[in-house]
Protein backbone atom coordinates (compact mmCIF):
# COMPACT_ATOMS: atom_id res chain seq x y z
CA UNK A 1 0.00 0.00 0.00
CA UNK A 2 1.47 3.35 -1.02
CA UNK A 3 -0.74 5.61 1.08
CA UNK A 4 0.69 8.64 2.82
CA UNK A 5 -0.36 8.83 6.45
CA UNK A 6 0.29 11.90 8.57
CA UNK A 7 -0.03 11.22 12.27
CA UNK A 8 -1.72 14.20 13.90
CA UNK A 9 -0.28 14.93 17.30
CA UNK A 10 0.15 18.15 19.23
CA UNK A 11 3.61 18.80 17.80
CA UNK A 12 2.39 18.46 14.21
CA UNK A 13 -0.72 20.52 14.90
CA UNK A 14 1.20 23.43 16.46
CA UNK A 15 3.48 23.68 13.42
CA UNK A 16 0.50 23.60 11.05
CA UNK A 17 -1.27 26.31 13.06
CA UNK A 18 1.85 28.50 13.12
CA UNK A 19 2.31 28.04 9.36
CA UNK A 20 -1.34 28.96 8.80
CA UNK A 21 -0.86 32.11 10.85
CA UNK A 22 2.18 33.03 8.77
CA UNK A 23 0.25 32.52 5.54
CA UNK A 24 -2.62 34.61 6.90
CA UNK A 25 -0.08 37.35 7.61
CA UNK A 26 -0.07 38.09 3.88
CA UNK A 27 -3.35 39.94 4.47
CA UNK A 28 -3.72 43.25 6.31
CA UNK A 29 -4.12 42.80 10.07
CA UNK A 30 -3.83 45.07 13.10
CA UNK A 31 -0.36 45.36 14.58
CA UNK A 32 -1.40 43.17 17.51
CA UNK A 33 -1.87 40.20 15.14
CA UNK A 34 1.75 40.40 14.06
CA UNK A 35 2.91 40.72 17.69
CA UNK A 36 0.98 37.60 18.69
CA UNK A 37 2.22 35.82 15.56
CA UNK A 38 5.82 36.69 16.43
CA UNK A 39 5.42 35.18 19.91
CA UNK A 40 3.65 32.11 18.53
CA UNK A 41 6.18 31.37 15.81
CA UNK A 42 9.13 31.94 18.16
CA UNK A 43 7.70 29.58 20.77
CA UNK A 44 6.84 26.91 18.19
CA UNK A 45 10.30 27.24 16.60
CA UNK A 46 12.05 27.01 19.99
CA UNK A 47 10.01 23.95 20.93
CA UNK A 48 10.71 22.43 17.52
CA UNK A 49 14.42 22.99 18.10
CA UNK A 50 14.31 20.98 21.31
CA UNK A 51 12.23 18.19 19.79
CA UNK A 52 14.45 17.85 16.70
CA UNK A 53 17.68 18.23 18.71
CA UNK A 54 16.71 15.15 20.73
CA UNK A 55 16.03 13.16 17.58
CA UNK A 56 18.34 12.21 14.75
CA UNK A 57 17.21 15.25 12.72
CA UNK A 58 19.70 17.81 14.02
CA UNK A 59 19.75 19.81 10.79
CA UNK A 60 16.07 20.62 11.38
CA UNK A 61 16.97 21.76 14.89
CA UNK A 62 19.39 24.38 13.58
CA UNK A 63 16.91 25.57 10.98
CA UNK A 64 14.45 26.22 13.80
CA UNK A 65 17.08 28.17 15.74
CA UNK A 66 17.24 30.56 12.79
CA UNK A 67 13.44 30.83 12.66
CA UNK A 68 13.27 31.51 16.41
CA UNK A 69 15.93 34.22 16.14
CA UNK A 70 14.14 35.99 13.28
CA UNK A 71 10.77 35.91 15.10
CA UNK A 72 12.21 36.66 18.56
CA UNK A 73 9.76 39.08 20.24
CA UNK A 74 12.15 40.06 23.06
CA UNK A 75 14.91 41.40 20.78
CA UNK A 76 12.94 41.93 17.57
CA UNK A 77 14.42 42.22 14.13
CA UNK A 78 12.65 44.82 12.02
CA UNK A 79 12.08 44.39 8.30
CA UNK A 80 10.04 46.26 5.73
CA UNK A 81 6.60 44.88 4.86
CA UNK A 82 7.75 43.28 1.56
CA UNK A 83 10.67 41.63 3.34
CA UNK A 84 8.36 40.30 6.06
CA UNK A 85 6.18 38.73 3.39
CA UNK A 86 9.15 36.77 2.07
CA UNK A 87 10.26 35.83 5.60
CA UNK A 88 6.73 34.76 6.54
CA UNK A 89 6.39 32.61 3.41
CA UNK A 90 9.80 31.03 4.00
CA UNK A 91 9.00 30.27 7.65
CA UNK A 92 5.59 28.80 6.71
CA UNK A 93 7.32 26.65 4.08
CA UNK A 94 9.87 25.44 6.66
CA UNK A 95 7.17 24.63 9.20
CA UNK A 96 5.11 22.67 6.67
CA UNK A 97 8.15 20.86 5.32
CA UNK A 98 9.14 19.87 8.84
CA UNK A 99 5.77 18.14 9.10
CA UNK A 100 5.74 16.48 5.69
CA UNK A 101 9.36 15.35 5.17
CA UNK A 102 9.76 13.38 8.43
CA UNK A 103 6.35 11.75 7.83
CA UNK A 104 7.48 10.69 4.35
CA UNK A 105 10.80 9.45 5.74
CA UNK A 106 8.98 7.42 8.38
CA UNK A 107 6.76 5.96 5.67
CA UNK A 108 9.88 4.85 3.78
CA UNK A 109 11.38 3.33 6.92
CA UNK A 110 8.16 1.46 7.64
CA UNK A 111 8.18 0.04 4.11
CA UNK A 112 11.72 -1.25 4.65
CA UNK A 113 10.82 -3.13 7.84
CA UNK A 114 10.27 -6.86 7.43
CA UNK A 115 6.69 -8.04 7.25
CA UNK A 116 6.10 -9.85 10.55
CA UNK A 117 3.15 -11.83 9.21
CA UNK A 118 5.27 -13.21 6.40
CA UNK A 119 7.95 -14.30 8.91
CA UNK A 120 5.41 -16.10 11.10
CA UNK A 121 3.93 -18.00 8.19
CA UNK A 122 7.27 -19.32 6.95
In a domain, 77, yes or no: yes
Residue 94 lies in a domain: yes
CA angle 42, 44, 46 (to 5 degrees): 65
- Asked if the structure places residue 116 within a domain, the reply is no
Do the beta carbons of residue 42 and residue 68 sit within 8 Å?
yes
Q: Which of 44, 48, 45, 20 is nearest to 33 (CA)?
A: 20
In the chain, the number of structural domains is: 1
- Examine residue 37 and state whether it is found in any structural domain, yes or no: yes
Asked whether residue 122 carries a pLDDT value surpassing 90, the answer given is no
- CA–CA separation, 53 and 59 (whole Å): 8
Q: What is the mean pLDDT of residues 85-112?
A: 79
Short-list 62, 19, 9, CA closest to 41: 19
Q: 80 falls in which pLDDT band (50, 70, 90)?
A: very high
In a domain, residue 112? The reply is no
- Global confidence as pTM: 0.77
pLDDT band at 1 (very low <50, low <70, confident <90, very high): very low
Segments forming the whole domain that contains residue 100: 31-105
Q: CA-CA distance, 70 to 84, in Å (whole number)?
A: 10
Distance, CA of 104 to CA of 98 (rounded, Å): 10
Amino acid sequence: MNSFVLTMNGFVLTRIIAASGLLAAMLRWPYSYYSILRWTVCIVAAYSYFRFAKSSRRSWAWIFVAVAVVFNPVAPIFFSRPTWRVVDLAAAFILLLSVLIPAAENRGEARMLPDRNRERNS
